Structure 1
Amino acid sequence: QADLDGGWYEFQPDYFGTAVFEGRSIPCISAKGQQVFHSGYELRDKDIHDLSILDAISKS
């Protein structure tokens, strides 16, 4: 993935996965990937909410 300063990011394969919805396999970002992508900036209320849901899911 290109960055805004002309560099490049290499994402780890476990940042991505699939989920099954109504019998179809859908590509998605893993919980780990979502946590990483919610870092490096000041979190908004929505981001804090999203991370709290990810945390709850990971404990179940």
Structure 2
Amino acid sequence: MREREQNYDATYHVGNTRVYVVAPTVTNEEKSRVLANFHQAGWNILEKLHREEARE
């Protein structure tokens, strides 16, 4: 049986097993949206910690 040639983003060897990772294709717009969501989540956490600290 002939294997198809495939490009992988990462290959891991665990014992006798190979794990191939193929990263998803992400547009710049999607990257920006995800980074903005992470940024907002970080600020939300900091604001919550600040409010909790102020109550003490």
What is the TM-score when the length of structure 2 is the normalising length?
0.31
Which structure: greater helix fraction? 2
Rg larger for? 2
